[in-house]
Structure 1
Amino acid sequence: MGLSIFDLFKIGIGPSSSHTVGPMVAANRFLNELSDKQLLNQVASIKIDLFGALAMTGSGHATDTAVLLGLLGEQPDRLDPDKAPELLRAIKDSGQIRLAGQHPIAFSQEQHLQFHFGQSLPAHPNGMTLTVRDHAGIVLHNNNYYSVGGGFVLDEQEASTDQTLPAQPRTIPYPFDNGRELLQRCEENNLTIAELVMANEHHLARHPDIEQQILHIWKVMDQCIDRGCAKDGELPGGLHVVRRARGLHQKLLNRKAHQKDLLELMDWVSLFALAVNEENAVGGRVVTAPHQRCRRSDPCGSGLLRAFCRQQR
């Protein structure tokens, strides 16, 4: 397993790592490609085409807004969700989008962003195409991107090589592909799981200060719980589902001593999981965690883990 723990636990925005985080990452990659080719300042128009599942659930999973925010240069792990509505409103009101936050071009979501319902790109169900043209209408650059789960994105060339995930280094000191191999490596080298994973992480060198980045992820989890417990109102989607975490939080805080029982810890765990779920639903800042059964990322999983640890402090 050559993946970093920072590939597995990612800071992003809800409601979906495949339908929201991935498309924003794809938009970031497209901007980088334009920059590398020194084409950004020549762009006069952009076309966004969403296919497959990204089209079918696009608005419901905020895929359209995620792409727009990504084209503004916003990144999933840095975006302030409170500022997102203002950024999107500015695009609509001005009729312009500032690519990478610096190059304004005319933009109408109805004209330049299209949902191709019932159509899919060949490599993966979560596909999208980004195309830019110059003032003469000539295509400057285009590329297909596939959001393959967990916030991972492949472009057309990478997808054509039958990769299921972006290439990852495999030359780690203690390689393993499953839990049995992990325990075997620990026994062979007289290491705990934590020591072995940390040794691999230092070799991968994804962050200069690993422990500080882990604490940052921990902090984002905490903030997500706090925000979820403090906010009220309705969840998006038009079903008029009312947020419940804030009310439950107040009930637990006001619970009298004689009302408490041995299962109170689970009440708090359930509350924190609900708070994270509701933050995820409104596009808040969450930490996604791996979901083995469906091979997706699951913000609820990180919420449950963080909630239990939080109550043990």
Structure 2
Amino acid sequence: MLYEPISVFDMLKIGVGPSSSHTLGPWRAAERFVNELESKGKLEQVGQVKVVLYGSLAKTGVGHGTGIAVQMGLCGYDPVTFDVEQITPAINRIAQEQQIVLVGKKQITFNPATDIQFLFTETLPYHSNGVTFLAALNNGEHIAETYYSIGGGFVKKEGEEVVADASVSLPFPINDADDLLKWCIKTGLSIHEIVYENEQAWRKEEEVRAGILKIWQVMKECVYRGCHTTGILPGGLNVHRRAASLNRKLIGDVAYSNYEEWIAAIQNGGNSFKYILDWVSCFALAVNEENASFGRVVTAPTNGSAGVIPAVLHYYTVFCNDSNAEQNSEQKIIDFLMTASEIGSIFKKESTISAAMGGCQAEIGVSSSMAAAALTEALGGTQKQALMAAEIAMEHHLGMTCDPIGGLVQVPCIERNTMGAIKAITASQLALQSTPDFARVSLDEVIKTMWDTAQDMNFKYKETADGGLAVNVPLSLPEC
């Protein structure tokens, strides 16, 4: 059997909102296109570039900022490090000057209004998220390359075979939950320990730790920023940010100078069920309001579901122990994110993490499943209980459609992250109080069911804004 190696850093990516499939993926595809032109020595010959968006990328591209993303990618900007405050000025400059500098080296005439085409009625056969880049060279040559954004920021070039990296040999190859459980039973290792051993096939131990802690740092910064930023989200839906006002209601209108002081104030505020529930929702709202504002988030496993894991991880670090000393340790954070990433990778291998392929069950459902398993193991659950929690969380997201109003990752997307986080916590509690040997449904069975459901789901409920709330809620969006 061929095992597909997927790293923690494939599942948990630092990037820019609002969508991993419609923003981060096209951004990366544009980067690949111009970098390949440069590597082939053809960049200096480019006289014109056009971008053609198909299917879901076209239908919801304006709301997801797809046109913005491809321009940023063509410029060679890195979504991990580029200052998000400079995105709007950069895009405005291109539109005003009608010039773009490919990879920061080759300036050409470029009019976003005409050189980025949205083909709303055409979908490429391989995947709904298709984008074609067309380059006309000064010597008369024409180059056309098509890429597919297949979910979670992953990009596949047309005709490119996805094969296992021969240079990576994992000590514990895993394709499904049965494989994972087999290795856990055989070795006695926990899920995160299995993942940790595998991860060292890619990079050194200190690099793994530093990389995961960087991911956690971005999550913390995103939560803190989202809980202290007011205003109306961009895009024309007139959606007001709620995390900041909820934050003030819960701990008062006090200005805390940093994240640590703020978290300490939250911990001192109480531990009632309602208080904790409000904070979990606040954490999730904060992340996805940042995501909707082209903020920096961690794709976990997608941007649309980026708030679930940070919310559940904050629930764990803030509320799950009176002293919080052990829970706040770096190793506990690393273990949590490793377990979560492995569950996400199994969903990607056996089903999908793309809403354009599977509806919102593939985003919020998968993120909830990831968080449930990670929380269960963090709270002392066994490997079987962790997998049971992952199954429970997904079972109660089966069939969830993706119907973003106006194609924006705002309604119902932001609130769905609060629901996914709460379901993850509930699933974990159920699993911790259960005997997994008597469980009637396995994680692999629910993953297969999710894929079957995705196959049967009507196309208009797969991130097209052609069905559900997207067509039943009146709105008037500005022309873009």
User: Please, what TM-score do these two structures have when normalized by structure 2?
Assistant: 0.59
Q: 2:301 aligns with which of 264, 284, 290?
A: 290
Using the alignment, how far apart are the partners of 1:233 and 1:102 within structure 2?
37
Q: Which moved more, 1:207-216 or 1:91-100?
A: 207-216
The answer to whether the aligner puts 1:117 opposite 2:120 as a matched pair is yes
Deviation at 1:192, TM superposition (A): 2.4
AA matched with 2:305: D
Using the alignment, how far apart are the partners of 2:45 and 2:236 within structure 1?
40
The answer to whether the aligner puts 1:306 opposite 2:313 as a matched pair is yes
Q: Which digits, 9 at most, give the CA deviation of each residue in 1:263-302, with x for residues without a partner?
A: 22222211110001101111211111137xxxx9721223
Using the alignment, how far apart are the partners of 2:304 and 2:12 within structure 1?
9
AA matched with 2:177: G
Correspondence list, 1:1-313, <5 A: 2-135=5-138, 138-158=140-160, 161=161, 163=162, 167-168=164-165, 171-205=169-203, 209-254=207-252, 260=270, 262-263=272-273, 264-290=275-301, 298-312=305-319, 313=328
Paired residues of 1:149 and 1:297 also in contact (CA < 8 A): no
Q: Which digits, 9 at most, give the CA deviation of each residue in 1:53-98, with x for residues without a partner?
A: 1001010011110100111111222222111111111111211111
Using the alignment, how far apart are the partners of 1:74 and 1:232 within structure 2?
28
- Secondary structure at 1:241 match in 2: coil
Q: Which digits, 9 at most, give the CA deviation of each residue in 1:162-215, with x for residues without a partner?
A: x5xx74557311112233332321221232222211110001339971100001
Q: Which moved more, 1:171-180 or 1:279-288?
A: 171-180
Deviation at 1:229, TM superposition (A): 1.2
Using the alignment, how far apart are the partners of 1:306 and 1:74 within structure 2?
30
Using the alignment, how far apart are the partners of 1:191 and 1:261 within structure 2?
33
| Unaligned runs of at least 5 residues, structure 2 | 254-264, 320-327, 329-480
Identity of aligned residues (%): 41
AA matched with 1:187: I
Aligned residues: 303
Classify 1:122/1:178 alpha carbon distance in 2 versus 1 (closer, same or farther; 3 Å).
closer
RMSD: 2.4
AA matched with 2:211: Q
Deviation at 1:134, TM superposition (A): 2.3
Higher relative contact order (CA 8 A, sep 6+): 1
Using the alignment, how far apart are the partners of 1:118 and 1:53 within structure 2?
10
Deviation at 1:32, TM superposition (A): 1.5
- Secondary structure at 1:142 match in 2: strand
Using the alignment, how far apart are the partners of 2:59 and 2:109 within structure 1?
26
Classify 1:259/1:175 alpha carbon distance in 2 versus 1 (closer, same or farther; 3 Å).
closer
Using the alignment, how far apart are the partners of 1:167 and 1:216 within structure 2?
27
Q: Which moved more, 1:176-185 or 1:91-100?
A: 176-185
User: Please, what TM-score do these two structures have when normalized by structure 1?
Assistant: 0.89
Classify 1:112/1:249 alpha carbon distance in 2 versus 1 (closer, same or farther; 3 Å).
same
Using the alignment, how far apart are the partners of 1:278 and 1:259 within structure 2?
24
Paired residues of 1:96 and 1:106 also in contact (CA < 8 A): yes
Using the alignment, how far apart are the partners of 1:254 and 1:199 within structure 2?
45
Paired residues of 2:283 and 2:307 also in contact (CA < 8 A): no
Using the alignment, how far apart are the partners of 2:92 and 2:204 within structure 1?
35
Classify 1:83/1:167 alpha carbon distance in 2 versus 1 (closer, same or farther; 3 Å).
farther
AA matched with 1:72: C
AA matched with 2:126: A
